[in-house]
Structure formats: structure tokens, C-alpha cells
Structure 1
Amino acid sequence: REGDEKRNRPSRYLRRIRYLEEFMEEYRPDVVVAFARLALFRALMAKKKTGIPVVVCVRIDPRSEYRGARNFFQIKKYMKTADGAVFQTKDAEDYFRKDLTCSSTIILNPITPKYLGLPPVKERNKTIVNAARLVAFKNQVLLVRAFSIVHEKHPDYDLKIYGPDSGDGTREKILQTIAECHLEGVVHLMGNSDALEKELPQAALFAYSSDYEGLPNSLLEAMAMGLPCVSTDCPCGGPRTLIQNGENGILVPVGDADALAGGMLALIENPERAAELGRMAAKIAEIASTDRVFEAWQDYLLRVMAGQRNERR
């Protein structure tokens, strides 16, 4: 609101809680769903005055997002007051389990419909693809180093990295690594794209190199398109939630260029296995379509609301 920017930080924080209380009092929603750390705590604080049930939703690795003494204090004080909690992975759920008094559930992100029902790929090209924002924790520097090992054995393959520049210096580090590995003209930074459903499906495989994640949408979408996938098994378990190692993709240790290269080579050098993993990967659409995810959210919120009504009787 006008004038808030002139207030100090604690004052702005308290005012935002007050605004949320006013909103909740005026509209009296059946339930409030709070996404992201600050919104989550504010909603739980506002619940104390309004009595309106709050469902919290954690969508990133809590070990990185909720570290520090202040977050520890707020988790201990407020998470126990939540009426419901939605997580994307079991690891994230386990992180908060001892602080929750409500039931919780795991719900995947929905797959954007344009990635579903694509025509089958008759022949894959010799391109490895990655799609992720160019930011430090996505660790495309590791991916380039791993690809340099692949390129020694298969010089006819190239690597295309799609995604916007975060501005944190990662793009420059990737370019430096490309130069150090003498991969100019072989590794391409493609920038952001709104048409990955047209640019990715013919690729040989999708490689993901993050150090930590929530539930990576780009990996989910690549699997839905039937791409053979190899990913780091990073916390808080997003890739592991999607990939059953050796059944519908390959998981490798975090930060290990040799292991990531080995996963890519395993798919390149065994096209029949790669095709089977891609076929099994596409089955993720059966549990993560927009309809299925909507139904999961609806069912869970209805249970939370029913529980609140029963408590009032």
C-alpha cells in the first residue's frame, strides 16, 4: 500500500500480516493456501486472529530455503498451527514432520498440456538437451564438464542448454568452462524458449545436473515427452520422486561429472534401453496431468475443510 515503502523492514512485515488478516476477515475463505516461505509464515500468523484454516505448501528444498535461526524459530512456533501441508517430495515432508500436528500429503506439479500427447519420435538426433535457468544451483557447469567426457567418445554429439540467464554469473562460468574444455561450437546456450515441446522431443536424451531442487518441472516435462533422462539424485528428492533408477530414467550422485557422463553414455551406447526408459518415463503423465493434480488438490482441501467443520461441532 502507498507509504509502506517508507517503513522499516519489521514494520513492513507486520503491516503485511495485518493486510492479510483484513483480507481474510473480509472475504472469509473456506481455506487459505500459502505458497513460499514468507507467505507461509504470514498466513499462519494471520490465522491466529482470523481462525481461518491454513494449508501450507513447500515447493523447494527446505534445507536451503528454511535454514537459519529465525526460520528455525518460526517453524517451531507456527508450523504446528497449520491445518494441512502439501509437499512435492517425501524428503521435504520428512523435514517438517516433527513440527506438524496435521495430516500432510505429496502432490506433484501438473504437466503443461502442450507436453502431452506428442507424436512418437521415429529417429532421435545426436543432441543432448538440458532446460533450466542458468543459476548456480542448477550446476550446468558440471553438465558441460560431464559432456566433455561424452564428447571424447562421441564427437558427433552436441549439447544444447535452454534457459534464461539469472544474472548471478553462472552464464559466464558456463562459457568459461566451454572454452576450457574446447567445446566451442559443440555446446550451445540456447536462451529461453517457449516452444520446448517442438525443440526437445527428437533429442537423444535429457540431462539434469542440479545440486538441489524442489520438483523440477523441466525434468517432469522431458519425461512426459518420452525423452530418456539422466539426473542427479539431488535433495530434496525431486528427481527421485519422478525417476525410479533404471526403470524410467537414470539417477547419479550430485556433483559427480564422471557419474553424470556415465549415465549419458549408458543411454547413447544402448539405444534400445534408452527407448524403453523413455517409453516408461512418459507414463509420468498418468499421475501428473493437470486433471489428476487438480483432483489431488481438491480432494485434500475438501478433507481439510471437512476436518475443520467436524472440530467446530
Structure 2
Amino acid sequence: MRKIVFHINSLEQGGAERVITNLAHQFAAEGYEVYIATEWYAENEFQIDKSITRVHVGLNKEEESRGRFAKLRIRGQRLRAFIKKIKPDVVVAFCHKANYRAITAALGTGIPVIVSVRTDPVGHYDHWDDKFQIPLLFPRAAGCVFQTEGQRDFFPEKVRKKSRIILNPLNDKYLDVPEPEKRVKEVVQSGRIVDFKNQLMLIRAFDRVHKKHSDYVLKIYGGDSGDGTREQLEELIAERNAGEYVFLMGASDSLEKVLVNASVFAFSSDWEGLPNALLEAMALGLPVVATDCPCGGPRTVMQDGVNGLLVPIKDEEALADGICRLIENPDLAEQLGRKARDICKIANGKAVFEQWQDYIESVCK
């Protein structure tokens, strides 16, 4: 059976890390020899089974104090040495710097590298150094996995031609969850508390909603990213005297239970890759109103008026109107929610794994 090395910076809990962890377990269960090579260990990481080998290829404490280019060189050399020692059939890298590092480390080894873009390229792959690294390195990759057409179309034609678009896999706990007998008067959101998710706009939009529907509350679930956004949200809630109807719920490991009977799921991001929180809400059959944010994550899985409502980014009034429309038209809301559940057919773990397996096998051949 084939040998696969996944490469990412760490396994700290996040969207890309969750996908790699899930894929690693699925490939291991199929009999593949699976390694995850990371640059560092984080405090809050996804756990991996003993069937998967975790390898540290990053810096040691003494090397952390060296200059930027020295650290880049050491990281590349260490990953290259590991690849040459293990001799995998393929290296699969996730995220910006790990993508470049994997391609560079494998040069001349004959080992194919698949890179994967997990965010909006605009603002993340358009810095001065990206402008020479992308045309120099990305065409040398054996393949590239994108989540949306918007991501794919940012890159050169040579990259697009050998790429695949593959959705994120849903956790099984979000599949086949029964419809609630009755919805509660809650608007919900889940995801990290972080600036680009624009929960500030969500609170301002809900303030408008609450003026018309004072019996509804907003609950925002998610851990604090530490970027100062939570403090800004708390200040806005205090400023608007909204503490009785806007709640920061913190992180939850049982979202499939606490979200499922809400009336509306409100997605407010300014940009995303393909947001797991949105996929999970759709799988639960929640009526969704979402910003049509770049690089096209919501638009990839949603059709406006068919399985949810799409509104422009940074448009507080449009978001508020969308929430009110779903509250005031429960039959429409239920219709959209039931149609949203169809995401389970194409984004369940088995379907997504089979796409990855097919692509990896085609690259290896």
C-alpha cells in the first residue's frame, strides 16, 4: 500500500488542520502508511491515532533565535531530509508556507507533491514574495487542490490544468441529525471570534432585527482567536445595551445539539476559504443567510433562494433584511433548510475521501 506524508505547520484546531487529521485517519484505515510532518506543536491540537506517525520537522529552541532566512533554510532542509529518508509515494501539503516548503524540499527527489490552498488567495498569496514564488514553484507541484473556483482561478493556467476542487468533509456527527419539532427564537453563528468573520457587523445587523423582533436573541458560538475581536464585541454589546439579547457563548463541542433548533444561522464573514461552520449549519438543515464572500465559499455550496440566502459582504442592512425575511417567512425558511441538507450527499466524509484518494492515485500513477 502507498505511503503518504501530509505536511502542515501544526495540528492546532482549525479548518485545514481538521481536514488533514480526518484524511490521515481515513487513509490509515484503508491501509496506507501515513505520516504527518509538522513544524511545531500547539497547545490545542487535534488528536491523532497511533496508526499515524507524527514527525517534528521544525526548529529546535536554539534555532528559533536565528534570522529569518536561516530559519527558512533549516526548515526546508529538515523536511527534505525526512522526505528522502521515508521515500513516500506522495507529499500532500496544506496552507501557504507549507505549500512552498514542500515543493522546494521535494525538488530533485522524484516524489510528487500535491499542494492545497485553504483560504482566499487575495490578501494571502499576493505579497511581494508570492509574485515570484507562485510562478516559480507552483507549476512544479504534481497537483493542487482548491475548495472553490475563485481560489483556482487566481493561479496560473499551468496550475489550474492539473488541479481539483474538493469540498471539506463534514464530521459524521452533523449527518442525519433529526429535524427539530419546533424552532426556538434564536439566531446563531459558530466559528472563531476573529476580525474577518465580522461578528461586529452581525451584532449591528441583529440590533436592527431586534427592533422588529424583540423576542429573538443572537448567540455566537466560538473560541477567542486572541486578536482583540472579542473585546470589541463586548464593547459593542455594552454600548448598545444588548446584553439581554446578544450572547457570546464561547467554544462548544456539541454544536450539532445546540444549533439544530435555531431559527436562522447568520454567516457574516468578509472572506473565507470554504467555511466548515457554514457546511455544518447546512447539514443540520438550518435556514441560512450568508455573505457572498470571496473566494466564493458560500456561493460554491449555496444557491440564493434555493438552499439559503446570499447577501453582499459588509452590508449590515442586507444581512438584517435577510434574517428578518427568514424569521417572518417560516415556510420559506424550512424549505431552504431542508434543501440545505443536501450538502450531506456531496460533503460527507466518505465522498470527500474518495475524491482525495482518486486524485492522489492519479498523481502517483
TM (norm. structure 1) is 0.95
Q: Secondary structure at the match of 1:259?
A: helix
Query: Are 1:243 and 1:249, in contact at CA under 8 Å, matched by a contact in 2?
Result: yes
Question: Following superposition of structure 1 onto structure 2, how do residues 56-71 of structure 1 map, counting pairs within 5 Å?
Answer: 56-71=115-130
CA distance in 2, matches of 1:185, 1:120: 28
- What stretches of structure 1 move > 3 A for 4+ residues in a row? none
CA distance in 1, matches of 2:101, 2:158: 17
Q: Secondary structure at the match of 1:178?
A: helix
Give the aligned partner of residue 304 of structure 1. Answer: 363
Question: Number of aligned pairs?
Answer: 306
Distance 1:265 1:101, change over 3 A: closer
Write out per-residue CA displacement over residues 30-71 of structure 1, whole angstroms, 9 at most, x where no aligned residue.
Answer: 111110111100111122231211101000111121121111
Give the aligned partner of residue 178 of structure 1. Answer: 237
- Structure 1 position 101, deviation (Å): 6.8
Question: Residue 20 of structure 1: which of 79, 82, 106 is its match?
Answer: 79
CA distance in 2, matches of 1:215, 1:76: 24
Amino acid at match of 2:74: R
Q: Is 1:40 aligned to 2:99, yes or no?
A: yes
- Structure 1 position 165, deviation (Å): 1.1
Question: Residue 89 of structure 1: which of 132, 142, 148 is its match?
Answer: 148
Query: Are 1:85 and 1:102, in contact at CA under 8 Å, matched by a contact in 2?
Result: no
Give the aligned partner of residue 259 of structure 1. Answer: 318
Give the aligned partner of residue 132 of structure 1. Answer: 191
Q: Is 1:10 aligned to 2:69, yes or no?
A: yes
CA distance in 1, matches of 2:263, 2:145: 35
Amino acid at match of 1:75: I
Question: Following superposition of structure 1 onto structure 2, how do residues 114-153 of structure 1 map, counting pairs within 5 Å?
Answer: 114-153=173-212
Give the aligned partner of residue 47 of structure 2. Answer: none
Structure 1: 5+ residue stretches without partners? 307-313
CA distance in 2, matches of 1:239, 1:118: 22
Question: Residue 171 of structure 2: which of 106, 109, 112 is its match?
Answer: 112
Question: Residue 262 of structure 2: which of 203, 208, 212 is its match?
Answer: 203
Distance 1:262 1:60, change over 3 A: same
CA distance in 1, matches of 2:122, 2:236: 28
- Structure 1 position 102, deviation (Å): 4.8
Amino acid at match of 1:47: A
Query: Are 2:93 and 2:114, in contact at CA under 8 Å, matched by a contact in 1?
Result: yes
Query: Are 2:135 and 2:156, in contact at CA under 8 Å, matched by a contact in 1?
Result: no
Query: Are 1:83 and 1:102, in contact at CA under 8 Å, matched by a contact in 2?
Result: no
Amino acid at match of 1:267: L
Give the aligned partner of residue 293 of structure 1. Answer: 352
Give the aligned partner of residue 214 of structure 1. Answer: 273
Give the aligned partner of residue 310 of structure 1. Answer: none
Distance 1:160 1:81, change over 3 A: same
CA distance in 2, matches of 1:134, 1:165: 5
Deviates more, 1:82-91 or 1:178-187: 178-187
Give the aligned partner of residue 249 of structure 1. Answer: 308
CA distance in 1, matches of 2:144, 2:235: 42
Q: Is 1:158 aligned to 2:187, yes or no?
A: no
- Structure 1 position 99, deviation (Å): 5.0
Q: Which has the higher contact order (CA 8 A, sep 6+)?
A: 1
- Structure 1 position 97, deviation (Å): 3.7
Query: Are 1:31 and 1:55, in contact at CA under 8 Å, matched by a contact in 2?
Result: yes
Write out per-residue CA displacement over residues 161-209 of structure 1, whole angstroms, 9 at most, x where no aligned residue.
Answer: 0001111111111122223333121000000111111100010010010
- Matched residues, percent identical? 52
CA distance in 1, matches of 2:160, 2:318: 40
Structure 2: 5+ residue stretches without partners? 1-58
Give the aligned partner of residue 50 of structure 2. Answer: none
Give the aligned partner of residue 272 of structure 1. Answer: 331
Q: Secondary structure at the match of 1:184?
A: coil
Q: Secondary structure at the match of 1:62?
A: coil
Deviates more, 1:217-226 or 1:165-174: 165-174
Q: Secondary structure at the match of 2:274?
A: coil
Query: Are 1:47 and 1:54, in contact at CA under 8 Å, matched by a contact in 2?
Result: yes
Amino acid at match of 2:112: P
Query: Are 1:82 and 1:102, in contact at CA under 8 Å, matched by a contact in 2?
Result: no
Q: Is 1:232 aligned to 2:315, yes or no?
A: no
Distance 1:86 1:103, change over 3 A: same
Amino acid at match of 1:275: E
